[in-house]
A and B are shown apart, each in its own frame.
Chain A
Amino acid sequence: MPPPVRRKALVLVLALGAALALTAVAYAGNGGFAPPTPHSPNAKRINDSYVWISIFTGAIFVLVEGSLVWFIFKYRRRGRPRSAEGPQIHGATRLELIWTAVPVLILATIAGFVFYKLPGIQDVPSAKAEGGPLVVQVNAHQFYWQFTYPDGQISIDELHAPVNRTVRVDITSQDVDHSWWVPELGGKFDAIPGHMTHTWFKADQVGTYRGRCGEFCGVFHAAMKAVVDVQSQADYTAWLGTAGSALGRGEWQGSCAKCHGLQGQGGFGPNISTNALLTQGAGLEQLIRQGRKEMPPVAHGWSNDQVQALLAYLKKNVYKGTTSGG
C-alpha cells in the first residue's frame, strides 16, 4: 500500500514548511508570526497575550498533529485484510473526562492572563502627570480619515501626535462603517455612524506608523490608509501652527484625489480639472456635502471653514479653465 513514500513526502513538506517559516522569521523580524513590533503600551500587552496563547496552542498543535502522524505510521495496514479488526474499544470514561477537563484548565489559564492584561489594554490612562490625555476626534469618511485636535485644527489622513504622550482617540463615522487600525499602536475600533468608540495610544518613539481601514467600506477601501506621525513635543506644537494653511491640500488629496486623480485628471471618477463647477462655490458645496450617485458625500459634517479651504485650494491649484470640450 502507498503510505511509506507519501509519508516521506509529508514529512518533507512539513520540514520544508518549518524551514521556510524559520528563515522568514530570521530575515524579517517576526515575519508575520506575531503582530508587528508594538510601539504603545496597549499594543505591547496585546502582543503579550498573543504570545501567551501561542504557547498553549503550540503545545496542543504538536500533541494533536504528532499523535496523528504517529498513529498513521504505527497502525497502518501493513498488508492486513480489510476484515481484520482492531480491538473493539468503545471508549474510556476516565480518559474522556481528562481530555474534557484539561482543555477547560488551559482555557481558564488563557482567559486569566488576558483578563489580567485587559485593563492596561482598554482603559485610557488618566495620565495626570501630563495633564490628562490629549483627545483627538477621528471622523471616518468614504474614503479618508479626518482628525480634529483639541484646539480645533484639522488634518486629513495624517494624525500628528507628540511622543510619550497619552492620546485618546474618539472614533465615529460620517457615512458607512469603517475601522480605525494602526497595528503598532493597538487594535481595531470600528467607526460606526451614530456611535462613538474609544481607544488610545502612547507612542514610545518618534516616527511614522501606518494605519488602514479595517472594515470593508466600499470601492476605495484599499486606499483608505492613515499615517500617525509621532513627533517631539516641539515639532508637534510647530505643526499645529501650520495645520490651518495645509488643510485645503489635505482635503483635496484625501477626499477628492483618490478618485479624481492628483491633478483632477480623472481616474475612477471623471476628469474634473476643467469642470467649471469647481469655481461655483454653492453648487460644489451642495455636491460634496450630499454626494450624487456613485460619488459619496465626502464633505458630510464639514464646517464652513473646511468647505472654504477646499474651494480655495481647488480654484488655485486644480482648476485648469474650461476647454472647448469642457
Chain B
Amino acid sequence: MSWITTTDHKRIGILYICTSLVFFAAGGILALLMRAQLAQANEHFITKQSYNELFTIHGTTMIFLVVVPIFAGFANFLVPLMIGARDVAFPRLNALSYWLFLFGGIVLYLSFFAKYGASRSGWYAYPPLSANMFSLGHGQDLWILSLHLLSLGSLIGAINFLATIHNMRAPGMSWMRIPLFVWSIEIYSALLVLVLPVLSVGLTLLLLDRQAGTHFFEPQGGGNAILYQHFFWFFGHPEVYVMILPAMGIISEVIPVFSRKPIFGYKAIAFSTVAIGFYSMLVWAHHMFSVGLPNFLNVFFMLSSMVIAVPTGVKIFNWLATTWRGNLIFDTAMLWALGFIAVFTIGGLSGIFLAAFPVDWQVTDTYYVVAHMHYVLFGGSVFGIFAGLYYWWPKIFGRMLDERLGKAHFWLVFLGFNLTFFPQHLLGLLGMPRRVYTYSEHGLWQTYNLISSIGSGVMAIGLLVFVVNVVQTSRKGPRAVNDPWLADTLEWYTTSPPPPHNFDHLPYITSARPLRDLRRRLAETRG
C-alpha cells in the first residue's frame, strides 16, 4: 500500500525500473515469436495479421514502455542522490508521471483484445494505413490513447528532472561538477519537453481523422499524408537520442570507475551531449529520404545527420582514452560498458550509410535498418541499461548481484545479440524488406534468418540468467556496503539502500569526483 501512495523518488525509481523490466520481457516475447515465424521460408507459425500486431506492439513497447521509462527510473533514483538533493522538485507530480506510464502500458496491452486486435500499422503508424478505412477496429485508437498517456507522463517527468537539476544541486556542485549521467538526463529531459508536444499534436490530428471525420492526413479530402511523417519524425528522431544519451551517461560513469581513472575530457563529453541534443532536432527528415523531398532538403538532412557522427565519435574516443593506462577491472558492469563501445560503434557506422541518401534509397525500410537500429537501441541503450543495473543494483537494493551469473548473462547476450542482428544487415542488402511476415527465398535468405532466430534464442537464455541472478541474490546475496566499487559520485556516500531522506549531511563539493576527494582526505588524515 505504501508503494501505491509513495512520493519518494527512490521508490518511484524502483517502480519505474521494475515495471519497465516487465514490459521488456513482454516486448521480448513478441520479438521471439517474430523470430520463430521468420526462422524458415514460408513458415506458418503465426498469421499475417498477428505478425503485424507483433511488430507494432514490439516497437512501441521497447521505445515507450522500456527504454524511455527505465531511464526515467534511473534518473528518479539517481539524480537527487547524485546532486545531493533530498528528493525531486515535485514529488507528487513524480508519482503522477509513473502512474500515467503504467496505465498507458496497460492500455497498450489490453488493446490486443479489441475487435480486429491491437494496432497493426507499425510503431510510427503512417496514415493512410492507420486511417479508419485501412485500420479497422479500435486497436489504433487505443494505441493513440496509450501514447497520449505515456507522453503526458514523460513530459511531467522531464519537467521534474529539469527543475531538480537546475535548482537542487548540493553546495559547490557547479555545472562542470555534476556527474555526466546527470548531464545526459538534463538533455534527455530538455528533448522530451521540446518534442513530445509535437507528437501529441500529430496523434491528436490522426485521432480526429479517424473519429471526427477530419482530413488532415487524408489525400482524398485534401489532406497531406506526408505532413504526419514530419510531425512524427520531428518527435521520433530526437526520441532516438532520448533513448541513447542516458545510456551514454551511464557508460561515462561506469568506465572511469572500473578503469580507476578520471573520465578523459569531462567537458568534451558534456558538451558533446549538448551538441547531440541540439543536432538531433535538425535531422528528422532523414527518415523520409524516399518520399521524394526536394533535393536541397535531402542534402541538408544528409549533412546534418552526418554532423551528429562527430560528437558521437568524440564520446567513443574519449571513453577509449579513459581506459588507456587504466587498471581495468572486468566486473559485469564494466563488461556491459565495453560491450556497449564494441557494438554501438557498428550501429554508428552503419548510420553513415543511411545518412547518405542515395545509399539510403537502397537500404531504407529493409532489414539493414532493422539491424542498424537494434545495434543502436539494443547494443546501445539496452547494454547501457544493463551496465547501469549491475553498477547501481547494490545501491538500489542493498544486495550485490552474483558476478558469475552476471558474466554468463553478458556473454550469452553479447553473442546472441550479434548472431541475431549482424546477419540482418546482410539480409537487408540481399533485398529483404522489413515488416514482412514471411519470405519465399531459400539459400542465403534462409541461412541468415535462421542464424538470426537462433541468436534470439541465445539472447533469451542470457536474459533468463539475469532473472535467476536477481531471484537468487534477492535473499541470499551479500549485503552491499556504501561504496563497493570505490566510485566517484555522491550516491555512494550514503547507505545502500539509502535512507528516505538520502543524506544526513553532505560534504562541500569541490570537483566532479566528490567521493574520491573524500577518500583521499581520509587517507591523508590517517596517513
Contact = CB atoms under 8 A, between A and B. Distances in A.
B430 A71 contact: no
A151 interface: no
A77 B329 contact: yes
A221 B224 contact: no
A110 B356 contact: yes
Contact of B310 (A31, A104, A115): A104
B314 A100 contact: yes
A188 B310 contact: no
Interface stretch (A56-64, A241-249, A269-277): A56-64
Contacts of A214: 290, 364-366, 433
A75 B225 contact: no
Given A91-B267, A100-B314, A103-B313, A118 B136 contact: no
B163 interface: no
A108 B122 CA distance: 35
Given A110-B352, A195-B291, A214-B365, A183 B313 contact: no
A75 B325 contact: yes
Contacts, number: 273
B266 interface: yes
Nearest to A99: B317
B38 to A, nearest CB: 11
Contacts of B479: none
Interface string B288-310: 00111001000100110011011
B508 interface: no
Interface stretch (A44-52, A126-134, A155-163): A44-52
B361 A46 contact: yes
A220 B48 contact: yes
Contacts of A220: 48
Contacts of B448: 32
Contacts of B299: 115
Contacts of A177: 126, 128-129, 225
A189 B292 CA distance: 7
Nearest to B133: A291
Nearest to B443: A28
B316 A64 contact: yes
A118 B363 CA distance: 16
Contacts of B266: 90-91
Interface stretch (A33-41, A303-311, A312-320): A33-41
Range of interface residues on B (Cβ < 8 Å) = 35 or more
Range of interface residues on A (Cβ < 8 Å) = 35 or more
Contacts of A84: 260, 327
A318 to B, nearest CB: 23
A87 B325 contact: yes
Interface string A194-218: 1111100000000000101111111
B412 to A, nearest CB: 12
A11 interface: no
B171 to A, nearest CB: 23
A86 B325 contact: yes
Interface stretch (A1-9, A229-237, A279-287): A1-9
Contacts of A296: 134
B261 A85 contact: yes
A67 B430 contact: no
Contacts of B259: 75, 86
A21 B515 CA distance: 47
B330 A3 contact: yes
A213 to B, nearest CB: 7
A83 interface: yes
B362 A50 contact: yes
B352 A53 contact: yes
B358 A117 contact: yes
A186 interface: yes
Interface string A101-142: 001100100110011011001100000000000000000001
16 contacts: A32-B427, A43-B362, A46-B359, A49-B359, A50-B353, A57-B352, A64-B341, A68-B342, A77-B330, A91-B264, A118-B358, A121-B358, A189-B361, A213-B433, A219-B49, A268-B48
Interface of B: 48-49, 52, 120-122, 126, 128-129, 133-134, 136, 219-220, 223-226, 259-262, 264-268, 290-292, 295, 299, 302-303, 306-307, 309-310, 313-314, 316-318, 320-321, 323-330, 338, 341-342, 345-346, 349-350, 352-353, 356-366, 407, 411, 415, 418, 422-423, 425-431, 433-439, 443-444, 448, 485-486
Given A2-B330, A68-B320, A114-B302, 5 more contacts: A122-B358, A142-B134, A186-B361, A187-B290, A294-B136
